[in-house]
Amino acid sequence: MKATAISSHPLLASEIHNSSLQQACPSIPFSQNPNDFVLPINRRHLLTSLSVAITPFFASQPPYAAARGLFQMPPPRLTNRYYLVRAGESEYESMGIINTNPVAKTSMDSGLSERGKKQTVKAAFELKAMGACEGSCWIWPSITQRAYQAAEIIASTNGVTRSFIVPEYSFLDARGLGAFEGKSLESVSEVYAYDSISPSMKPPPISDGTPNESVEDVFVRVTQLMSILETQYSGETVIIVSPDSDNLSVLQAGLVGLDRRRHRDLSFGPGEVRFVDIKSIPTYKQPASGVYKCLNPPSCR
């Protein structure tokens, strides 16, 4: 009866409760006001309460299914449409001379020859017939003279303003051929002989500042370019204009998962245009020699 009477009186019950808590936790002050008393903080209970309160918030967030990480070759998908264009013949190419030193890339001698201008005009109309710039498109040329001239011709033919031309300063430089610089164009076949053995083989070096790049070196550059484009744009059309074939053939080999030692099979002629379709994997016969056999394409050494 006595316990029942005490518990039924709210003031007495509150004082007894506070007294027992004060004895258990003497360092915590307790108010004697029944409307103002505070329970001691229990860290375990606090963490439990927080986890219960926060869980619904995180559970309600949409998954990052469309998040884009580092660009990998071959890509599972592309967020943009791409056209690959090789610029028309250059002045040096018209003379049959290899010129890949980046020091001269903005020189007028690295510009389009008369024949190269005609090839580029044809490419521009081909892009128009393909509907490449219907709506809008971005044109990404190398800053190399002939590639930028080609970009201007493509833009003019397809009704694209200069603000949609984005010059690329390094990733689309013509492949540096080292000691082959200044030699005849026919000698480039020796470079491709190296490429067919290993994508890591470099042309012999030279002291005039011309890079001597392997297929792998070019592959790193064009992969970095694609990473920028896939991050910067979404659902856009991008026309990549290269001064040479190797940038584009190595890029396309990477996109479709082809053994990069065979990038020469995808070579571009001056003024050639291609639409990128990563589902279109070229079929080719594996070489008979075990030296060239690739057991795990496109990772071949």
SS3 of 140-154: the string is EEECCHHHHHHHHHH
Convert the pLDDT of each residue in 156-200 to its tens digit: 999 999 999 999 999 999 999 999 999 999 999 999 999 999 999
d(CA 196, CA 179): 19
Q: How confident is the model at residue 94 (pLDDT cuts 50, 70, 90)?
A: very high
d(CA 252, CA 260): 9
d(CA 63, CA 36): 44
Convert the pLDDT of each residue in 234-279 to its tens digit: 999 999 999 999 999 999 999 999 999 999 999 999 999 999 987 7
- Mean per-residue pLDDT for 48-63? 46
Convert the pLDDT of each residue in 209-237 to its tens digit: 999 999 999 999 999 999 999 999 999 99
Q: Which residues contact 184 (CB under 8 A, 6 or more apart)?
A: 96, 97, 98
d(CA 143, CA 271): 17
> When comparing pLDDT for 104 and 140, which is higher?
140
Determine the pLDDT at residue 45: 59
Mean pLDDT of the chain: 81
Q: How confident is the model at residue 71 (pLDDT cuts 50, 70, 90)?
A: confident
Which pTM was predicted? 0.73
d(CA 221, CA 101): 16
Report whether pLDDT(299) > 60.
no
